[in-house]
Amino acid sequence: MTVTLELYERAEREVAIREGRIALVVHAVVTAIVWAVLIPVNVFAASAFPWSAFVVGGMALGLFFHWFGYRRSERDLRNRQARIESRAHELLQV
């Protein structure tokens, strides 16, 4: 069976989206674990200043941007593939 350009592009998008989803889930799990450890440390061992709020806020912001990037990934992949295909056609004409 011959792999067509369309089939290859579809497979590439599916793999990239699956990998992106896994990375997002890993990021969320790591964020939850860090929060689960640091917040009690802040409350029980160093309660004079709520420094864990900075960690929680920063990690939440990072997770939000990761999620935002994941949501745009399919469109970005399609655009990238279209640019590559266009460039390949240009190279054929040279």
Per-residue pLDDT tens for 44-87? 999 999 999 999 999 999 999 999 999 999 999 999 999 999 99
8 Å CB contact between 20 and 70:
yes
- pLDDT value at 29 more than 90: yes
* Contacts for 56 with CB less than 8 Å, ≥ 6 apart: 35, 38, 39
| Mean model confidence pLDDT for the chain | 94
For residue 5, the model assigns a pLDDT of 86
For residue 21, the model assigns a pLDDT of 97
Q: How far, CA to CA in Å, does 39 sit from each of 4, 28, 46, 60, 88?
A: 52, 16, 10, 14, 53
